[in-house]
Amino acid sequence: MGVTNLWQILEPVRQPVSLSSLKGKTLAVDLSLWVCEAQTVKKMIGVVTKPHLRSMQAESC
């Protein structure tokens, strides 16, 4: 699922920015993949406290 080699395709136009340069701006994040992955979080219910947050934290690091 997704675009094969997306990061390699985008590499020539990549422009790293500092977090401070984003201050006061709106940043959009596509969470659709996380929503799909969250379906597997149901398996963690009763085993892990707040599994939805654990899943999001793991993906963002």
pLDDT at 44: 67
pLDDT at 58: 61
Q: What is the pLDDT of residue 59?
A: 58
Write the DSSP assignment of the chain as a string of letters. ---TTHHHHHGGG-----GGGGTTS------HHHHHHHGGGGGGBTTBSSHHHHHHHHHH-
Residues 40-59 pLDDT 10s: 766 666 766 666 676 666 65
The predicted model scores a pTM of 0.38
pLDDT tens figures, 18-40: 999 999 999 888 887 777 777 77
Residue, of 52 and 61, whose pLDDT is higher = 52
The SS3 call for residue 43 is helix
